[in-house]
A and B are shown apart, each in its own frame.
Chain A
Amino acid sequence: MADATKQAEQAGQAGAPGQREPILQVRNLVKHFPLTQGLLFKKQVGAVKAVDGISFDLYQGETLGIVGESGCGKSTVAKLLMTLETATSGEVFYKGQDITKLSGRALKAVRRNIQMVFQDPYTSLNPRMTVGDIIGEPFEIHPEVAPKGDRRKRVQELLDVVGLNPEYVNRYPHQFSGGQRQRIGIARGLALNPEIIICDEPVSALDVSVQAQVINLMERLQDEFNLSYLFIAHDLSIVRHISDRVGVMYLGKMAEIGTDTQIYDYPTHPYTQALLSAVPVPDPEAREGRERIILTGDVPSPANPPSGCRFRTRCWKAEDKCAEEMPLLAVPSLYEGEDTPAAHESACHFAEVKQVVGAA
């Protein structure tokens, strides 16, 4: 118990006095995609609030899992951190430097350190390039990383690291299976020796028996190269397995964030509770003891989110206050200053622990 609390303190945001410095700090990040109308003269008629003010820290060597349903904005977060999309407002500090304001040479330098692994191994590799060209491309873009004569050797080393035969450098992506392609994608991500890898649903397109191989590979690489992962996924079981801390997103907002134990065993936000209770557990015995919270309705449109708390339209606890006041992401007053794993940040007016995952 005391142990969990210590973890909780470490995970707590602003100025946690942990031994580790955050390598990435996200503050009030916002991305609104304008909705336009008109054929020739486009007029803005609204905005899809894909990401609407989220903040979190990523520490050196840890894995932060981000979970949420489709449309919650988790993939947009990935694109914003990669500066593939321009943030509407907010900051992303990499080692103290706000990367949302960078461009040109300075941005290129930062990109060396933040890399990405994509969801779909079929569209993320250029079908007209050989595996050697794909994994070697990072060196062509950043020639300072590896001298020209060394590159081929480096590419073969990378193939070996991800568990592929180094002799396959001259093959094309279509000659590989999904799992092997994902390994190629990981090798490309590793080429520049980055510190942070952003993984957007890296195993969801793979067969069950191959998922475990790729997850094990990613964990081994994390230890070997001291990588920090931002692991975005909709599969809560996989996220629990790989993550040190977990953030739960709903409609562009962070609903709850904490260590994996805090989130999975002591969830305080109703959405997290519903999400966890809905996950089918591969054990018919376990299902009998579980309480299931079945939400009604669908996720509202991010172009027109509910007022106040975004989750209130599907929440069984909702009261008038929820429609009027937006709950802030903070340690619930109920648990403030207490020595319990429930004392982690949750954006709910009525945050209270409800254990939904059968303890094993």
Chain B
Amino acid sequence: MTELTKSDQGPDAATAQSAVANNTAEPAPARITQWGEIRHRFMANRLAVVGLVLVALLFAIAAAAPLIATHDPYAQDLTNTLADPSGDHWFGTDALGRDQFSRIIYGSRIAVVVGLASIFLACLIGCVLGALSGYFGKAIDSAIMRVADIFFAFPLLIGAIVIILVMGRGVLPVIISLGVFSWATVARLLRSSILSVREMDYVTAARALGAGTSRIILRHIMPNSIAAVMSYVSFSVGTAVVAEASLSFLGIGVSPEVPEWGNMISSARDFLGVKDFLWAYPSAAIVLTVLGFVFVGDGLRDALDPKLR
């Protein structure tokens, strides 16, 4: 028995050592919260921080648009159309003499609202259906996935045109059509993630302990499968901004007089090669927005993976 205890204290002492060694310069016992660690890993990723700054900037601009804009974005000045960038009009003026800079600033509001709202809608539908599909499987799974396939296969633009024809032009129809046609990816992602997590031994272990369905879903399956969805969501906000701009570019998004990036690029078409600043600035705004969300998504994916250190 003495030997038993001896050989057993051995690992304990060594355990203390190596566990400390595993955590650089942190005295045991260390209290590390899950969020603290995720934040730490996210902040250690330079691109993710750049992305976060871009996204924060976008939100700040959208919120403070009236303070930042130098002119009324709707105000036409027919005496000063197609002016090159100058001290008065930083980004020049368009064919109706509207201040480009102010229109880009106000355009961020549409980008933020449409991007977030449409993806929120997609997530809501996608998460509920994906979770049902992944956890219960069998007939429910087959049914939901076939519906998802249909939405997946249906071209977004054609679907959006149908919805907008029914509802008329405006911000809400754009949000709904983007949301309705992107939930399928969210559902598929969550489903496949749940399917792989469901087979993990820790889920089996919880079942073996006698845990009920809700505990298994909420404590074991969701926290481990939502990460895939969270980073996708950040990516797809960027995609939604592009899709929204495309709809406006095609003339089926928000009304043409509204300051919106797609609208601006669309009206710049006539001056291609002559007044390139007309499309260059709104395009740059779109690119920076998308990059911001993509970088954040990348950073989230890495930070949320507990295996990466």
Residues of A within 8 A of B (CB): 40, 82, 84, 107-108, 111-112, 115-116, 118-120, 123-129, 137-138, 140-142, 163-165, 167-172, 174-177, 179-180, 185, 188, 192, 213, 216-217, 220
Contacts and interface: CB of A to CB of B under 8 A. Distances in A.
13 contacts: A107-B210, A115-B208, A119-B201, A120-B201, A123-B200, A137-B211, A137-B219, A163-B9, A164-B15, A168-B28, A174-B307, A176-B19, A188-B209
Nearest to A39: B142
Interface string B178-200: 00000000000000000000001
Interface string B18-53: 110011000011111010010000000000000000
B224 A128 contact: yes
B208 A116 contact: yes
Contact of A180 (B15, B205, B309): B15
Contacts of B16: 165
Contacts of B307: 127, 174
A114 to B, nearest CB: 8
* B interface residue count range (under 10 / 10 to 19 / 20 to 34 / 35 or more): 35 or more
Contact of A84 (B4, B15, B19, B208): B208
For the complex of A and B, 6 pairs with smallest distance between CB atoms: A124-B201, A167-B29, A127-B306, A108-B210, A111-B210, A126-B202
Nearest to A220: B4
A177 B19 CA distance: 8
Contacts of B215: 140-141
Contact of A174 (B31, B142, B306): B306
A188 B205 contact: yes
Interface of B: 4, 7-12, 15-16, 18-19, 22-23, 28-32, 34, 37, 142, 200-202, 204-212, 215, 219-220, 223-224, 306-307, 309
Nearest to B211: A141
B85 to A, nearest CB: 51
Contact of A141 (B23, B30, B209): B209
Nearest to A198: B208
A216 to B, nearest CB: 6
B204 A118 contact: yes
A82 B201 CA distance: 13
Which of A112, A140, A165, A169 has most B Cβ within 10 Å?
A: A165
A163 B204 contact: no
Contacts of A40: 142
A140 to B, nearest CB: 8
B19 A137 contact: no
Contacts of B31: 170
A216 B8 contact: yes
Nearest to B4: A220
Contacts of A169: 29
B8 A220 contact: yes
A128 B23 CA distance: 17
A217 B18 CA distance: 19
